[in-house]
């Protein structure tokens, strides 16, 4: 076949394919092709994630009871928690920031969250436990609202107290200095101060009382909280299995799209590169794109399967030990030297391999060993003594020792 001969010619070491180099414009087009196909392909693969139903997210009530790990990364796309919120308007804050004309006064706003429980939470009877403790929770919330109000009042009184105290000080100074037409009435201020102080004491006592009640109630809730936590642990484990299943389905779906493309491109690449086709470069770029898809897909699937769990455990160990951390950095340094230095070594070795060097020099009519001109040489280099010609084993004529084929009989050295 015609290409078999071509292949043989081009496989000779030292042959430089200068005339075959892809022009820069070609590379630019290939890079554009790679980027665009990667981008569009990623969109197609990403959309496949939405085909199987995603596991339902937990309700907002789960927040204090669930701990998510590294393996749960990326599982929060879409609504993280199921929220149903309603704003609650409270008493206006004391001393609001001066409202601009025409704007309504600022109000202390609380957002009360109602939980929309997911199927998994229902399965483990979590809503029932929440319901049992609802009155205590509502009481705690009411107590906290009360505490907040009292705290706001207390802030106001303490602010006033400060002002009146300084006014009282001034009135005393006025009295001592015997100023005419005094601005401050000492007795009046004293009475006002006494009133404010008693209010202050009362509020402080009230707040302490409210806080004590809250603590008592919270203590009462502790067992049921522990129960909820335990239930959520089970629900979370189920939720993770549901996600793992979902990710498996996505993986299978994506594999249907990605693997035929990848293996098709791989086959094309091997076919083109075997015949040393000038179109190999296109297949190389396509192969790079297909490989990225495969890596992306496999990494996402393996992440929650075991990668995240291993990495999280390793990170836990590394975080603990400073010595291990520095050892790890050191190993990383050595590894990067080995990888990058190794790559350069391989390249250099290929370019400067003795056979390649010898062939390059022979082509330029120079001694393969010392670069002395071969015009003056015969069987040996007159400068370094290197053997230039040797007898062909087949036709007994003289042939170049460093070249594989005899120019007289065509015999190939094995």
Give 256 or 384: the residue with its C-beta nearer to Zn ion.
384
Give 348 or 391: the residue with its C-beta nearer to Zn ion.
391
Both structure tokens of 240: 């993770």
Give 244 or 383: the residue with its C-beta nearer to Zn ion.
383
Distance CA 374, CA 160 (A): 107
Candidate segments 30-38, 93-101, 220-228, 400-408, binder of Zn ion by CB under 5 A: 400-408
Site string for Zn ion, 367-396 (x = CB under 5 A): x-xx-x--------x-xx-x-----x-xx-
Contact predicate 382/389, CB 8 Å:
no
Candidate segments 141-149, 210-218, 270-278, 402-410, binder of Zn ion by CB under 5 A: 402-410
Both structure tokens of 244: 């793992």
Give 289 or 377: the residue with its C-beta nearer to Zn ion.
377
Shortest distance in whole angstroms from residue 410 CB to Zn ion: 7
Shortest distance in whole angstroms from residue 331 CB to Zn ion: 46
Give 94 or 404: the residue with its C-beta nearer to Zn ion.
404
Candidate segments 51-59, 137-145, 146-154, 360-368, binder of Zn ion by CB under 5 A: 360-368
Give 236 or 388: the residue with its C-beta nearer to Zn ion.
388
Rule CB under 5 A: is residue 409 a binding residue for Zn ion? yes
Candidate segments 23-31, 77-85, 174-182, 406-414, binder of Zn ion by CB under 5 A: 406-414
Rule CB under 5 A: is residue 358 a binding residue for Zn ion? no
Count of residues that interact with Zn ion, criterion CB under 5 A: 15
Both structure tokens of 71: 């393996």
Q: 3-state DSSP call for residue 109?
A: strand
Q: 3-state DSSP call for residue 381?
A: coil
Rule CB under 5 A: is residue 174 a binding residue for Zn ion? no
Give 62 or 369: the residue with its C-beta nearer to Zn ion.
369
Shortest distance in whole angstroms from residue 363 CB to Zn ion: 15
Candidate segments 110-118, 303-311, 337-345, 365-373, binder of Zn ion by CB under 5 A: 365-373
Angle at 287 between CA 286 and CA 293, to 5 degrees: 95
Give 254 or 369: the residue with its C-beta nearer to Zn ion.
369
DSSP string for 10-77: HHSTT---GGGPPPHHHHHHHHHHHHHHHHHHHHHHHHHTTSSPPPPPPBGGGGGG----GGGTTTT-
Candidate segments 92-100, 161-169, 281-289, 398-406, binder of Zn ion by CB under 5 A: 398-406
Rule CB under 5 A: is residue 408 a binding residue for Zn ion? yes
Shortest distance in whole angstroms from residue 329 CB to Zn ion: 49
Shortest distance in whole angstroms from residue 395 CB to Zn ion: 3
Distance CA 55, CA 118 (A): 10
Distance CA 335, CA 333 (A): 5
Residue 175's alpha-carbon distances to 73, 163, 189, in angstroms, are 71, 18, 13
Distance CA 134, CA 132 (A): 6
> Taking the alpha carbons of 140, 146, 150, 155 in that order, is the dihedral positive or negative?
positive
Q: 3-state DSSP call for residue 244?
A: helix
Give 265 or 392: the residue with its C-beta nearer to Zn ion.
392
Distance CA 42, CA 48 (A): 10
Q: 3-state DSSP call for residue 233?
A: helix
Interface ranges with Zn ion (CB under 5 A): 367, 369-370, 372, 381, 383-384, 386, 392, 394-395, 406, 408-409, 411
């Amino acid at each position: 076949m015609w290409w078999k001969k071509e292949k043989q010619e081009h496989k000779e070491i030292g042959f430089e394919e200068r005339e075959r180099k892809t022009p820069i414009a070609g590379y630019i087009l290939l890079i554009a092709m790679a980027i665009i196909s990667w981008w569009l392909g990623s969109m197609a693969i990403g959309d496949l994630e939405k085909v199987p139903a995603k596991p339902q997210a937990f309700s907002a009530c789960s927040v204090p009871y669930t701990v998510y790990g590294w393996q749960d990364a990326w599982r929060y796309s879409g609504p993280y928690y199921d929220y149903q919120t309603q704003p609650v308007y409270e008493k206006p804050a004391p001393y609001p920031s001066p409202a601009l004309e025409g704007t309504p006064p600022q109000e202390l706003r609380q957002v009360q969250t109602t939980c929309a429980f997911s199927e998994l939470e229902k399965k483990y009877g979590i809503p029932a436990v929440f319901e049992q403790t609802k009155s205590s929770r509502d009481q705690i919330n009411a107590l906290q609202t009360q505490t907040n109000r009292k705290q706001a009042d207390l802030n106001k009184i303490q602010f006033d107290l400060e002002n009146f105290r300084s006014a009282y000080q001034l009135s005393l100074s006025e009295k001592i200095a015997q100023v005419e037409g005094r601005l401050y009435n000492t007795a009046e201020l004293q009475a006002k101060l006494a009133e404010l102080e008693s209010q202050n004491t009362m509020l402080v006592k009230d707040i302490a009382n409210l806080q004590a009640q809250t603590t008592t109630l919270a203590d009462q809730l502790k067992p049921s909280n522990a129960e909820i936590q335990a239930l959520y642990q089970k629900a979370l484990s189920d939720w993770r299995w549901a996600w793992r299943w979902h990710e498996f389905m996505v993986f299978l779906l994506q594999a249907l799209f990605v693997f035929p493309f990848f293996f098709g491109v791989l086959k094309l690449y091997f076919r083109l590169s075997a015949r040393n086709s000038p179109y190999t470069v296109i297949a190389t770029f396509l192969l790079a794109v297909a490989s990225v898809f495969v890596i992306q897909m496999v990494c996402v699937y393996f992440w929650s399967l075991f990668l995240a769990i291993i990495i999280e455990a390793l990170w836990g160990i590394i975080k603990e030990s400073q010595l291990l951390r520095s050892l790890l950095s050191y190993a990383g340094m050595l590894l990067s030297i080995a990888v990058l230095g190794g790559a350069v070594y391989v390249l250099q070795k290929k370019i400067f391999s003795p056979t390649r060097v010898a062939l390059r020099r022979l082509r330029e009519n120079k001694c393969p060993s010392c670069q002395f001109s071969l015009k003056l040489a015969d069987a040996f280099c007159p400068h370094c003594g290197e053997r230039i010609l040797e007898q062909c084993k087949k036709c007994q004529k003289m042939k170049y020792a460093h070249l594989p084929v005899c120019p007289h009989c065509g015999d190939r050295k094995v």
